[in-house]
Amino acid sequence: MRRRHALFDQATLALLGSGPNLPPAIPRNAFLNEMGVFTQPCHLFFDDWHVIGDAEVESTVERLLLAPLPNVHLWRATRSPGRLPLARLRALGDLDELGSAELAFSAAEAARLFDLAADVTLAHRNVGDFLADEVFRRQEPELQTFLLQTSILRQFSTALCTAVTGRPDARRFLDLIEARNLFLFSLDSERGWYRYHHLFSDFLRKRLHEQDTIAAVECHRRACDWLSGNGFRVDAIEHAFAAADHERAGALLDAASAELSWQFDVARAALADARCALGSRTTSLAADDPESFFCATIWVPRLISASNG
């Protein structure tokens, strides 16, 4: 910015250095006035905006957004919307947004990405480092505990989270996780059931077992209690085994045998159809429906191996 205007921000810096008792509005107004000197486009970038908690900083940026400065453009990368006047800017047509939907990879793009990942172990390690340093570590201790406890669940509702964590305010935590874009996906239109991104849940489960294996077992036991008592006996079996409660797992297997047999029959029928489709339509499927082809090439071999085993 000083390449364009050598004296830019000198007045603001002089005011900031004049003493600690200066009202914040004075240097803020000086800064806004200095931003008006640009006659060509000027772009300001704020990364990790969600970590800013200072009200004066947010107030200054809000004034900057609403000021009549046609050549000043503000960009911010954030996990939460914050307290900026986004609705007003959106209504005025002064806001461009790129959300998770616009940034998500298509199946074909994801396939190309994995093809380019020459070292999968290194890639997963880097993802784990990112999740630990940039996401999990920055959350409040209470929220960290909630994330760890619920990571054992493949999918979950408010009631199930309450049962596993023992917190009656589980809904508040789910809303907070969703607002911060912490890799949480809604599974229905009513926003009743959720799941974490598999990489995030893998990271959280590993961290939970590293920190407290006894707590992990207790979470599995609570999950088993709720699931078996609410009509999800098949799902409860996995948690009974994870809690090393083999007697209960056996009892649940006996009780759910008819349901498991039906599910296996359905899976075998679907597998037979998939075998035929993959065998006869490999070329056309890749061209006509790359997303289905991507899923088929990943999952059908696994299903065939499981059924033959």
Domain-located, residue 2 = no
Confidence of residue 270 (pLDDT cuts 50, 70, 90): low
Q: Are residues 130 and 243 part of one domain?
A: yes
Average pLDDT, the chain: 76
Instruction: Mean pLDDT check: name the lowest of 20-24, 173-177, 223-227, 271-275.
Output: 271-275
Is the pLDDT confidence value at 125 over 80?
A: no
Write out pLDDT tens, residues 128-146. Answer: 666 666 788 889 999 999 9
Domain-located, residue 268 = yes
Given 259, 276, 295, which residue is the final one in a domain?
259
Is the pLDDT confidence value at 247 over 70?
A: yes
Domain-located, residue 238 = yes
Q: Are residues 279 and 233 part of one domain?
A: no
Residue 123: per-residue pLDDT: 52
Confidence of residue 299 (pLDDT cuts 50, 70, 90): very low
Q: Are residues 54 and 126 part of one domain?
A: no
Residue 168: per-residue pLDDT: 95
Confidence of residue 307 (pLDDT cuts 50, 70, 90): very low
Domain-located, residue 108 = no
Instruction: For residues 5-32, give the mean pLDDT.
Output: 68
Instruction: For residues 230-236, give the mean pLDDT.
Output: 88
SS3 category, 111: helix
Q: Are residues 157 and 92 part of one domain?
A: no
Q: Are residues 89 and 66 part of one domain?
A: yes
Work out the percent of the chain whose per-residue pLDDT is above 90.
24
Domain-located, residue 141 = yes
Task: Compute the distance between CA of residue 116 and CA of residue 155 in angstroms, rounded to an integer.
Answer: 31
Work out the percent of the chain whose per-residue pLDDT is above 70.
67
Domain-located, residue 110 = no
Give me the domain span that covers residue 55.
10-97
Distances (CA, A) of 284 to 106, 277, 279: 19, 10, 11
Residue 227: per-residue pLDDT: 94
Q: Are residues 245 and 133 part of one domain?
A: yes
**Residue 74, H or E segment:** strand 72-76
Q: Residues 16, 17, 18, 19: what is their CA dihedral angle, to the nearest 10 degrees?
A: 90
Q: Are residues 268 and 252 part of one domain?
A: no
Q: Are residues 166 and 86 part of one domain?
A: no
Given 221, 243, 259, which residue is the final one in a domain?
259
User: What is the tally of structural domains in the chain?
Assistant: 3
Q: Are residues 218 and 157 part of one domain?
A: yes
Instruction: For residues 84-100, give the mean pLDDT.
Output: 79
Task: Compute the distance between CA of residue 124 and CA of residue 199 in angstroms, rounded to an integer.
Answer: 9
Q: Are residues 254 and 140 part of one domain?
A: yes
SS3 category, 39: coil
Q: Are residues 251 and 149 part of one domain?
A: yes
Instruction: For residues 185-189, give the mean pLDDT.
Output: 86
AA identity, residue 170:
A
Q: Are residues 293 and 202 part of one domain?
A: no
